[in-house]
Amino acid sequence: MQDIHPTVRFVIDLARIQAILNRRFDSGLGGLGLSEFIILLHLNEAGAAGMRRIDLAESVGLTASGVTRLLSPMEKIGLVKREANRDDARSSLVMIAPGGKRKLEEGMERAELLAEEIVPSEKKGEMKYVASVFSEIGRNIR
């Protein structure tokens, strides 16, 4: 038990950092939760075509159920809108609404400020490396 497997250590450090960042971002994004912010970001990247809820779940890292619960109030307040999927009646498409675009821009400004607080700009190189490791892990885990 002396030496901890590096990847296990990684998971532990990851959990800690995420818990802290989650709290910070949840309360610092101007009334937008971190998950909501992330959803808007993905939907914004998807553009007018929108996304199926399940693909959104996959890219955010939540379950389909979690996405359903998150989207429902967001739809009510006009951050996102839904549309039937003419190719598959099981699924509907979600897309970002004008209100969501505004909120996203607001949130992004704050997110950038928060980001600067946690990683000093001279660490950008390291961040790049970490990002590449993340994307590899991301592919491994689904």
Partner DNA sequence: GATATATGCTTGAGTAATCAAGTATTAGTG
Partner DNA sequence: CACTAATACTTGATTACTCAAGCATATATC
Which listed residue (41, 42, 92, 110) binds DNA by CB under 7 A? Answer: 92
Is residue 106 a contact point for DNA (CB under 7 A)?
Answer: no
Residue nearer to a copy of itself on the CB measure, 26 or 85? 26
Is residue 30 a contact point for a copy of itself (CB under 8 A)?
Answer: no
Here the tokens at position 21 are: 């960042």
Is residue 44 a contact point for a copy of itself (CB under 8 A)?
Answer: yes
Query: Helix/strand/coil (H, E, C) string of the chain?
Result: CCCCCHHHHHHHHHHHHHHHHHHHHHHHCCCCCHHHHHHHHHHHHHHHHCEEHHHHHHHHCCCHHHHHHHHHHHHHCCCEEEEECCCCCCCEEEEECHHHHHHHHHHHHHHHHHHHHHCCHHHHHHHHHHHHHHHHHHHHHC
Which listed residue (55, 99, 106, 114) binds DNA by CB under 7 A? Answer: 55
Per-residue contact flags (x/-) with DNA for residues 62 to 91, judged by CB under 7 A: xxxxxxxxxxx------------x--xxxx
Number of Cβ atoms within 10 Å of the Cβ of 52? 17
Is residue 53 a contact point for DNA (CB under 7 A)?
Answer: yes
Is residue 98 a contact point for a copy of itself (CB under 8 A)?
Answer: no
Give residues in contact with a copy of itself (CB under 8 A). 1, 4-25, 34-35, 38, 41, 44, 59-63, 104-105, 108, 111-112, 115-120, 123-124, 126-131, 133-138, 140-142
